[in-house]
Amino acid sequence: MKIPFNKPYLTGKETFYIQDAVYSGHLSGNGKYTKKCQKFFEEKYGFKKALLTTSCTDALEMCAMLLDIKEGDEVIMPSYTFVSTALAFVRQGAKIVFVDSCKSQPNMDADAIEALITSKTKAIVPVHYAGVSVDMDKIMQLANKYNLYVVEDAAQGIDSYYKNKPLGGIGHLGTFSFHETKNVIAGEGGLLIINDDKFVERAEILWEKGTNRASFFRGEINKYGWVDTGSSFLPSELTAAFLFAQLENIEAIQRKRISNWHQYYNGLKGLEQDHKLRLPVVTENATNNGHMFYIVCNSENERAQLIEHLKEEQIYAVFHYLSLHNSPYYQSIHGQRELPLSDYYSNHLLRLPMYYELSEDAILKIVDRIKEFYDKPISING
Ligand SMILES: *Cc1c(COP(=O)(O)O)cnc(C)c1O
């Protein structure tokens, strides 16, 4: 039995809703299903305004445009993140100032931010790694003190909370992803959350190619035209119809993923007690949304051997980000400042298979195989 790293889950109604969208005659964006999805987020999580986008990358690009990020502006974010977090701001001319990870877990170290703030700093972009919140009180305090904007990259953070506040709803702006590797999927898809009223009107304009078409469709104006910059950030109704079927099942999806997570955790905690590996940390004030289950190995070599040991049984575990500050595209701009903890997670963290249809038996098999690896008395330093 092959156990892939990820397997997209279908709730069963996706094609039914797509068919409905097709035959209803409205295929472009901002139709019935787009509105249903946006309303779902506004009602369930109390977000002020939600706009469906074609990806989280696009939603982040909209954030950079909304904040008027320009050449010379500085934006603070973790190095241990996906390319898009940085790229969206780099496209507007920003210089990215990378922060190191925490010692206990890969999220950015909120205590390391203040020393990096300069007169050019415009925004802080916390990334909620594995759906576990960054220390948002500290980030929002710094934002208030220095008059900065906060954009939450909550691509992995759906249905997760910080002090009872939903992730994506704490900063001025927030973004989600519905890429097929996330908890709730649409193939490719994303969402922009606008928590600060002053961005709402302009966000709709950027979303609709720089036109005020959205307010035209609501009957607020009698003709629409080109009023600002923007792009075609909105997905078609086919994407929204697929997504809506997923959202209707979000509670079952979350329940199953969180249960998978706990089965892994309970199965592996003996190895952590024996200092063979480290398990994920859900920090104080944060919740766990079952997005990911990772372990932290004691060495890069040990991780490579464990990956092979699992692969022999057709179990596919994968490592994650390579620090962005060392990337071919950005290392010369970043310079020499070292971020050892970000590099540590690049070299030691391993993600185990995690998806809705992952069975208890499969997790048992993975846990046993990992235990077998660490129980081997032979040297693993070779
Ligand atoms: C998945 C992910 C993205 C990108 O999402 P897309 O929808 O694929 O553009 C950005 N940031 C983080 C942290 C992610 O995990």
For the chain, which residues make up each domain, given as ranges?
A: 14-247, 250-375
The CA 254 to ligand 1 mean position distance, Å, reads 19
CATH topology of domain 14-247: Aspartate Aminotransferase; domain 2 (3.40.640)
The pLDDT tens digits of the residues spanning 58-110 come to 999 999 999 999 999 999 999 999 999 999 999 999 999 999 999 999 999 99
- Please report which confidence band the pLDDT of residue 317 belongs to, taking 50, 70 and 90 as the band edges: very high
How large is the average pLDDT for residues 338-358? 98
Q: Is 190 in the pocket of ligand 1 (CB under 6 A)?
A: yes
Q: Is 85 in the pocket of ligand 1 (CB under 6 A)?
A: yes
* pLDDT tens track for 45-61: 999 999 999 999 999 99
pLDDT of residue 379: 54
Q: For all residues of the chain together, what is the average pLDDT? A: 97
| 127 within ligand 1 shell (Cβ under 6 A) | yes
Fold agreement between 14-247 and 250-375: no
- CA angle 283–284–287, rounded 5-degree value: 70
Percent of the chain having pLDDT more than 90?
A: 97
Q: Which amino acid is at 122?
A: K
Position in ligand 1 atom list of the atom nearest CA 84: 10
Q: How confident is the model at residue 381 (pLDDT cuts 50, 70, 90)?
A: low
Distance 190 CA to ligand 1 centre (A): 8
Q: Which atom of ligand 1 is nearest to the CA of 57?
A: 9
Helix (H) or strand (E) holding 293: strand 293-296
Q: Is 107 in the pocket of ligand 1 (CB under 6 A)?
A: no
Residue type for 14, please? E
User: Percentage of the chain surpassing pLDDT 70?
Assistant: 98
The two structure tokens encoding residue 13: 């109604």
Question: CB of 152 closer than 6 A to ligand 1?
Answer: no
Query: Distance, CA 318 to ligand 1 centroid (Å)?
Result: 17
- 237 CA distance to ligand 1 middle (Å): 21
Q: Return the CATH class of domain 250-375.
A: alpha beta
At 382, the pLDDT band (50, 70, 90 cuts) reads: very low
The residue to mutate among 83, 179, 183, 188, having the most atoms of ligand 1 within 8 angstroms of its beta carbon, is 179
Length of the chain: 382
Q: Is 80 exceeded by the pLDDT of residue 276?
A: yes
Name the residues annotated as catalytic.
Answer: 182
Atom of ligand 1 at shortest range from CA of 190: 7
- pLDDT tens-digit readout, 213-235: 989 989 999 999 999 999 999 99
How many other β-carbons are positioned within 10 Å of the β-carbon of residue 91? 13
Residue 87 CA to ligand 1 center (angstroms) comes to 11
Per-position DSSP letters for 110-127, written without gaps between them: GGGSGGG--TTEEEE--B
Q: pLDDT tens, 241-260?
A: 999 999 999 999 999 999 99
Q: Bigger pLDDT: 51 or 377?
A: 51
> What is the pTM assigned to this prediction?
0.97
Ligand 1 centroid from CA 63, angstroms: 14
Q: Is 289 in the pocket of ligand 1 (CB under 6 A)?
A: no
pLDDT for 376 equals 77
Place of tokens 């890969």: 106
Question: Of the residues 156, 176, 181, 233, which should be mutated to test ligand 1's pocket, given the most ligand atoms within 8 Å of the CB?
Answer: 156
Which atom of ligand 1 has the smallest separation from the CA of 182?
1
**pLDDT over threshold 60, residue 174:** yes
pLDDT digits (tens, 9 = 90+) for 285-307: 999 999 999 999 999 999 999 99
Mean pLDDT of 306-311: 98
Which among 36, 51, 54, 30 is positioned nearest to 190, based on CA atoms? 54
- Rounded to whole angstroms, how far apart are CA atoms 331 and 318? 24
Query: Does ligand 1 have an atom closer than 6 angstroms to the CB of 179?
Result: yes
How far apart, in whole angstroms, are the C-alpha atoms of residue 143 and residue 76? 11
> What pLDDT score does 1 carry?
86
What's the Cα-to-Cα distance from 73 to each of 67, 86, 117, rounded to whole Å? 11, 13, 11
pLDDT of residue 206: 98
Three-state SS annotation for 72-85:
CCEEEEECCCCHHH
Cα–ligand 1 centroid distance for 275 (angstroms): 32
